[in-house]
Amino acid sequence: MWALGDYHRFASELIWEFGPVLVEACGVSSGQRLLDVAAGTGNVAIRAAEAGADVIALDLTPEHLGAGRRAAVSRGVELDWVEGDAQALPFGDGEFDVVTSSAGAMFAPDHQTVADELLRVCRSGGTIGMINFVAEGTTGEFFELLDRFAPPPPPGAFAPILWGDEGHVRELFGDRVASLKLTRRRYVEKLSEGSRTPRDYVEFYKETFGPMIAISSSLGHEQRAELDREFFDFATKWNRGTPEAAEYHYDYLLVVAEAR
């Protein structure tokens, strides 16, 4: 699913600002060993390498790793790219000073296993940082739209946006963190070039965002047309810019924890 479309184009256009936010929030600095889980094409990992950290970027999708390698070369930084699952990290206990995930590990179905793995590979006193979408407002309605048309999730899978619920995060980490700071923040999605109407926003998602492409391709003609109509209605309703320069305000939960 995530290999469909052009995730690097999607991420660099709409959510690339997450990288500096998480690097700053986690206090990433030279000499630290950092693991970025579900790294995509390097949103956080490349920025952490630029800050001087020794970085491993892990993702389940080989196409993301390839695009990330090219992006890292273009920015003049070196880091390791590893194919792997957020639910079974291929590293030993306490190997990293910092463990991050930006709108990535939240999509793994078993939330508790993900939390356990993030904690396991982080050293005592190290930092775990995440950016997770929340269930309210623009974000919540976007996920509801996808859910209405998507195939049923695997048995026992948790909704990704539960990672944006403060109580859920506290329960997942429990008493295994010495501190846990949870902050609600907002970011803006808008197209930077060419025509930028709500219809352009919809078409950009349909061209670049793998989950949208996968869901659409699984539908019959009538359902696909219905998804298109509802997505355009969503884009029109939540536009906080102008009809010619649309922009969308999404909320997320910034998670910063200190491992015991």
DSSP per residue over 1-29, as a string? -TTSS-HHHHHHHHTTTHHHHHHHHTT--
Q: At what angle do helices 43-50 and 18-25 cross, to 10 degrees?
A: 50
Q: Is residue 206 part of a domain?
A: no
CA dihedral 70, 63, 252, 22 (to 10 degrees): -40
Work out the number of other CB atoms within 10 angstroms of the CB of residue 101. 28
Tell me if the pTM is above 0.95. Answer: yes
CB 182, CB 255: distance < 8 Å: yes
Q: Is residue 160 part of a domain?
A: yes
Which pair of structure tokens corresponds to residue 178?
């010495």
- Domains: count for the chain: 1
Q: Is residue 10 part of a domain?
A: no
Q: Is residue 118 part of a domain?
A: yes
Question: How far is residue 35's CA from residue 95's CA, in Å, rounded to a whole number?
Answer: 9
Write the CB contacts of 201 (distance below 8 Å, at least 6 apart in sequence): 189, 191, 235, 246, 248
CATH of residue 69: 3.40.50.150
Helices and strands (H and E) in the chain: how many = 10, 7
pLDDT in tens, the chain (260 residues): 999 999 999 999 999 999 999 999 999 999 999 999 999 999 999 999 999 999 999 999 999 999 999 999 999 999 999 999 999 999 999 999 999 999 999 999 999 999 999 999 999 999 999 999 999 999 999 999 999 999 998 899 999 999 999 999 999 999 999 999 999 999 999 999 889 999 999 999 999 999 999 999 999 999 999 999 999 999 999 999 999 999 999 999 999 999 99
Domain coverage including residue 69: 15-134+154-190+249-259
Q: Is residue 147 part of a domain?
A: no
